[in-house]
Amino acid sequence: MPSALDLRLEAAYNLITGPGGPIQVGSIERFGQQLPVITNAPTNLADYVAYFCAQHGDATFLVEATNG
């Protein structure tokens, strides 16, 4: 029997990975096996960078330090 904590963790997981969640999980079939996939992930690196920049445009991305 699941504990209250187990039930709360499952509910949180479902909010995150369920329909409309930020990391919506589905599945695809490859080579005769069902594999998990993030269904709302960007399909390529350029789309990922554009999405990340839109979400975090004011944040510092990269800082280069020199010794000297």
Q: The whole model's pTM is what? A: 0.56
Q: Based on DSSP, count helices (H) and strands (E) in the chain, helices before strands.
A: 2, 2
- Residue 68's pLDDT is what? 64
Q: What does the pLDDT profile of the chain (68 residues) look like in tens digits?
A: 999 999 999 999 999 999 989 899 999 999 999 999 999 888 899 998 888 888 888 888 788 888 76
pLDDT, one tens digit per residue, over 28-45 is 999 999 999 999 888 899
Strands (E), the chain: 25-30, 33-38
Encoded tokens for 66: 């020199």
